[in-house]
Structure 1
Amino acid sequence: QTKLSKLGEILFLEEEPPLNPDSDGLEEYTILIWKYGRELKKRHVMRFTERSYDPFENCSVKNCVVRYKKSYISSADLVIFDLNHIKGTNELPLKSVRNPNQIWAFLSDRSPLRTFSASASADISDFDDIFNWSMTYRMNSDIPVPYGQTLLLRHRQKHLEIDYEEWNKSKHQNILLAIVMSDCRKTSYRLNYIKELQKHLKIDIYGNCGNKRCKAYAENIFPDELIDCEETIKYKFYLAFENSNCDEFITEQVWWYAYSKNAIPIVMGGSKKYYEQLLPPHSYINTEKFARPRDLVNYIVYLNNTPSDILQYFVWKKYFKVVNEHGYFHTASQHYCRACEALNYNNKDEKTIHDMEDYWVEGKCHSSSIFDLE
């Protein structure tokens, strides 16, 4: 399915929303988060703090109420099932209580290769013929919830030019590259690639896999929370290597750790076509452009010695802005807003996702091309 939902057209093709954003007179929709409401609320409403934020604060519509109690199963307009937490179909409501006018959506913020938690016994095909809508980072989702977005500025922002001297002064001079990663499996393509880079260049690796510790990690009180590793703000380049090589899977690695910290992202995982579609032009370096890791190292060293060329990687800031929308690091999440917008804007004709493997997994992920070591 490549066709965008109405909400997808509004988000990605800049189509106008079909109705007046003043939603006072509109029907009120009930959204039910099934079973894992506490986990979702912590991120999408509380942003991993002690207080609650209004998830519809900057939303184009506000005529939705989010519920967490199972008793709303018969009356809810939309029921959201978080496959990243659900362990199997035995956790779904009984078919007998399903309201035929209700929309059931599956939510996954993870890649198709890691949809379920390690403790789940579920298989994706167990969920065939159950869901009507998808809620994922992909553009063709019924409810698109990307980790971030590139937005065109209405007016050119001359003042957003980077002052090279200032930028350079704020960054480490001896170690140019950093990455935060916690998945250290030996078979990981990205780990092997990093090891090759390390033969020629120092890299600071934060998280479970490396030599550096983030101070904030020790004070973590929320088990699901991604904690910001603030130390990474001191690097000129950031290795935004995703844990899966899947189309459009572009996460906080790029949006937060690179862009929001004024580092140049070196990207791997989300596939070339989608980096070009979704990220600001000339704002990142794609590992795919280099035949071997050594060539990438040479390019980084060259850039570091050539301020005029490094500055070219920030020209986009005059024309675009990037927004983080994932709810991690106390940023605002758009998940509940998007669900409400979808209820207001999308075509609600009956449809069912018959084959989940085909819809969510098939052909969406790629084994990494093997690089030359010589």
Structure 2
Amino acid sequence: MGAGAHWRPVGRSTVAARRAEWRAGSSQRQCWERVLRRINSSLWEAILGFLFVLWVCFIYLFASSTGEDPVTLLIWTHPFGEYRQLPDCWELYQIDGCTLTDDKRAYAEADAVIIHHREIASLKVDLPPEPRPHAQKWIWLNYESPSHTPRLWLFGGIFNLTMSYRTDSDIFLPYGYLVPRERAVAGPQSRFTHPLRRPSHSDFSRPRLVAWVVSNWSESHARVSLFYKLRRFVHIDVFGRVGRPLQKGSDNVVQLLRRYLFYLALENSLHTDYITEKLWNAVLAGAIPVVLGPPRKNYERFLPPEAFIHVDDFATVQDLARYLLMLKSNPGLMRRHLDWRGRYSVHRPVFWGEHFCSACKAVRKSKGRTALVKDLAVWFHS
């Protein structure tokens, strides 16, 4: 027989029975599928919830370990009693998590208090009250030289952090510094960074020779003695309190110096790292700075060796004068002092906003550490 001999129609009752069986099985399957879906859904929710908790814990632990928690910095007094609006640290410097305030009512909640030396040294302003809140840091702020920083001995063992122009400060921010062109950043902070152009022919033929801007004149200063000796050999145009009038402001000084070949960047006292805006005004103006301050090696921390002329490089002041006059008549030699400029920009921190924001950033990174600066006077005079 053929294959069709085995086929026969199925009766209606048999079909109905099989349909009933199929429906019953289908119902059971649907039930189990619903159960499994619910189990899977609950399981996934549990897994996702667990992962979320792990993520939150990781972020918290990472922030705690790196000191990246948001902090509040209290400005105890505005330096020299001159009120300035407090900056937005993120908007200007891309430093986040910093709240600045000068409201002393915030003392109990402040993570750190920044205290400018001049005001407390005058004894007209008291230190914040003791005992200080738990883990709060006190920051000593000073940009004067040791010769003009009185009563340091009163403040040993009080502060937790130092902030000054010295490279070995806990928070170091100099009066200015060079930024290689390839590392210059864009954004709001770039407004404080000034590209230096390579010298042109006009830089070697400026109409005037030497300028000096001085406001603090004292016969006891080494720079005044140097000036008296140097002026016997070269003409020096003096501006400031004892010279020709000049409007205050670094921009005005820079504009003036664009007419000069050389600028006397002479510090009022000679101390480690004490290199002030005088140097950077000359650099910005394209005038070669003639410097009196710490030793040459100290200046070379901040500038290429050929970027300045140090008075210590000459046996006599007359030798210095001869060298300046030789450069004036020999643009090829003068170029050696200026060619480096095309590779750099100058960043000049604006007092005091960038200082406050930099201090706030340092507090975030050192949160939880409250060691004391025991020998403040010994360190600063070293």
Instruction: Determine if the TM-score, normalized by the shorter chain, exceeds 0.5.
Output: yes
Q: Deviations over 1:158-192 (max 9, x none)?
A: 994211x22245x32xx411111112211111001
* Bigger Rg, which one: 2
CA RMSD of aligned residues (A): 2.8
CA 1:138/1:306 → structure 2, altered by over 3 Å: closer, same or farther? same
1:110 paired to 2:153 = no
| Alpha-carbon distance, 1:350 to partner | 2.4
Per the alignment, residue 324 of structure 2 pairs with 300
Inter-partner Cα distance in structure 1 for 2:88 and 2:252: 22
Gaps of 5+ in 2: 1-61, 185-194
| Alpha-carbon distance, 1:55 to partner | 4.3
Question: Among 169, 176, 180, which residue is 1:141 paired with?
Answer: 169
Question: Among 222, 228, 231, which residue is 2:256 paired with?
Answer: 231
Count of residue correspondences: 307
1:252 paired to 2:277 = yes
Per the alignment, residue 358 of structure 1 pairs with 378
Question: Among 70, 79, 99, which residue is 1:28 paired with?
Answer: 70
CA 1:307/1:240 → structure 2, altered by over 3 Å: closer, same or farther? same
| Alpha-carbon distance, 1:226 to partner | 6.8
1:193 paired to 2:226 = yes
Further displaced range: 129-138 or 335-344: 335-344
| Alpha-carbon distance, 1:154 to partner | 2.1
On the 8 A contact 1:255/1:323 being kept in 2, the answer is: no
Question: Among 159, 164, 179, which residue is 1:151 paired with?
Answer: 179
1:91 paired to 2:126 = yes
Per the alignment, residue 160 of structure 2 pairs with 132
Inter-partner Cα distance in structure 2 for 1:270 and 1:57: 36
Once the two structures are superposed, the pairs formed by residues 55-70 of structure 1 within 5 Å of their partners are 55-70=89-104
On the 8 A contact 1:280/1:320 being kept in 2, the answer is: no
On the 8 A contact 2:196/2:345 being kept in 1, the answer is: no
| Alpha-carbon distance, 1:278 to partner | 1.3
CA 1:137/1:291 → structure 2, altered by over 3 Å: closer, same or farther? same
On the 8 A contact 2:258/2:287 being kept in 1, the answer is: yes
Question: Among 162, 170, 181, which residue is 2:199 paired with?
Answer: 162
1:264 paired to 2:306 = no
1:337 paired to 2:362 = no
Further displaced range: 63-72 or 29-38: 29-38
Q: Deviations over 1:288-332 (max 9, x none)?
A: 1011111000000000111111111122123222211143xxxx9
Amino acid at match of 1:62: D
On the 8 A contact 1:78/1:104 being kept in 2, the answer is: yes
Q: Deviations over 1:67-86 (max 9, x none)?
A: 00111111111100000233
Q: Deviations over 1:70-108 (max 9, x none)?
A: 111111111000002332386112213x11310101100
Q: Deviations over 1:133-178 (max 9, x none)?
A: 001011111111210012223289x994211x22245x32xx4111
Inter-partner Cα distance in structure 1 for 2:70 and 2:82: 21
Per the alignment, residue 213 of structure 1 pairs with 245
Amino acid at match of 2:230: L
Q: Matched residue of 1:57: which SS?
A: helix
On the 8 A contact 1:89/1:127 being kept in 2, the answer is: no
Q: Matched residue of 1:134: which SS?
A: strand
Which structure exhibits the higher relative contact order, with contacts defined as CA atoms closer than 8 Å and separated by 6 or more residues?
A: 1
Inter-partner Cα distance in structure 2 for 1:185 and 1:155: 41
On the 8 A contact 1:89/1:126 being kept in 2, the answer is: no
Per the alignment, residue 9 of structure 1 pairs with none
Inter-partner Cα distance in structure 2 for 1:259 and 1:113: 26
Gaps of 5+ in 1: 1-18, 46-51, 117-122, 218-224, 364-374
Inter-partner Cα distance in structure 1 for 2:81 and 2:168: 25
Inter-partner Cα distance in structure 2 for 1:145 and 1:89: 27
1:322 paired to 2:346 = yes
| Alpha-carbon distance, 1:238 to partner | 0.5
Further displaced range: 71-80 or 145-154: 145-154
CA 1:191/1:348 → structure 2, altered by over 3 Å: closer, same or farther? farther
Per the alignment, residue 82 of structure 1 pairs with 116
Inter-partner Cα distance in structure 1 for 2:74 and 2:275: 27
CA 1:88/1:28 → structure 2, altered by over 3 Å: closer, same or farther? same
On the 8 A contact 2:196/2:344 being kept in 1, the answer is: no
Inter-partner Cα distance in structure 2 for 1:228 and 1:84: 27
Inter-partner Cα distance in structure 2 for 1:190 and 1:90: 33
Q: Matched residue of 1:66: which SS?
A: strand
| Alpha-carbon distance, 1:129 to partner | 1.1
Over the matched positions of the two proteins, sequence identity in percent amounts to 28
Per the alignment, residue 308 of structure 2 pairs with 284
| Alpha-carbon distance, 1:357 to partner | 1.4
Inter-partner Cα distance in structure 2 for 1:159 and 1:317: 6
Per the alignment, residue 242 of structure 1 pairs with 267
CA 1:352/1:159 → structure 2, altered by over 3 Å: closer, same or farther? closer
CA 1:146/1:341 → structure 2, altered by over 3 Å: closer, same or farther? same
Inter-partner Cα distance in structure 2 for 1:244 and 1:265: 17
